[in-house]
Amino acid sequence: MLKSDKYKIILASGSPRRQQFFKDLDVDFEIRLKEVEEIYPPGLQAEQITDFLAQLKADAFKNEIAPNEILITSDTIVWHNGKALGKPKDYDDAVAMLQTMAGETHEVITSVCFTTADRSEIMHETTKVTFNPISDEAIHYYLDKYKPFDKAGAYGIQDWIGLTAISKIEGSYTNVVGLPTHRVYEFLNKPD
């Protein structure tokens, strides 16, 4: 039996891409949003960061989850050269991110936290993405036309840059978009 038959699924994400994934999975869900300042302790590395932030987002709903609800929160970062690249602060930050990743391989890490009234479970997924070299002209074209400022690493694999500059991907494509759907679906199908 699907957990979504027994539980009401609450998606705590304003991301249109994550919301679309849940629709595409044919999972009934409700959206609940809370503003959370996404600050993590210094010294955390890679999936420690996304695990912490996914849990932080869940903690904002503490004592508000009904016994028949599963709250789903998540966080995605790009991990490159030992550094987390989140959403760019501004245009120049986006340019710098894309320049540093051009011609190199980085990791996209997403953590998903499943929270019920009495417990939390976190899983994470890592996908390696390799970019071809990208000219500054192409970077400016992409940023001006597609404005990916709400995306970790300042790019969307499903956008123009994904079609023109990504030479290789190892792992889950949907994870790079922002949610490892196969893992979420697996969790929702797992017996209690």
Joined together, the tokens standing for residue 185 give 């679906």
| pLDDT of 115 over the 70 cut | yes
Burial label for 69, CB within 10 Å (0-12, 13-18, 19+), is middle
Distance, in Å, from the CA atom of 145 to the CA atom of 115, rounded to the nearest integer, reads 38
| pLDDT of 117 over the 60 cut | yes
The pairing of strands 69-80 and 166-170 is unpaired
| pLDDT of 1 over the 60 cut | no
* Interior angle at CA 63, CA 60 and CA 66, nearest 5: 110
Residue 95: phi, psi to the nearest 5?
A: -60, -50
Q: Which ranges of 34-134 does DSSP label H, i.e. alpha helix? A: 47-59, 91-101
What is the tens place of the pLDDT at every residue in 157-177? 999 999 999 999 999 999 999
| pLDDT of 15 over the 60 cut | yes
Mean pLDDT for the chain overall: 94
The domain in which residue 48 lies consists of 3-189
User: Tokens 């500059």, residue?
Assistant: 165
Average pLDDT rounded to a whole number, residues 60-64: 94
- pTM here is 0.93
Number of domains in the chain: 1
* Interior angle at CA 93, CA 155 and CA 103, nearest 5: 55
| Percentage, residues of the chain above pLDDT 70 | 97
Report, as residue numbers or ranges, the catalytic residues: 75
In the prediction, which pLDDT does 4 show? 59
Work out the pLDDT band at 191, boundaries 50, 70, 90: confident
Indicate which CATH number applies to the domain containing 98: 3.90.950.10
Q: From the CB of residue 159, how many other CB atoms can be counted at a distance below 10 Å? A: 16
Average pLDDT rounded to a whole number, residues 126-153: 97
Work out the pLDDT band at 3, boundaries 50, 70, 90: low
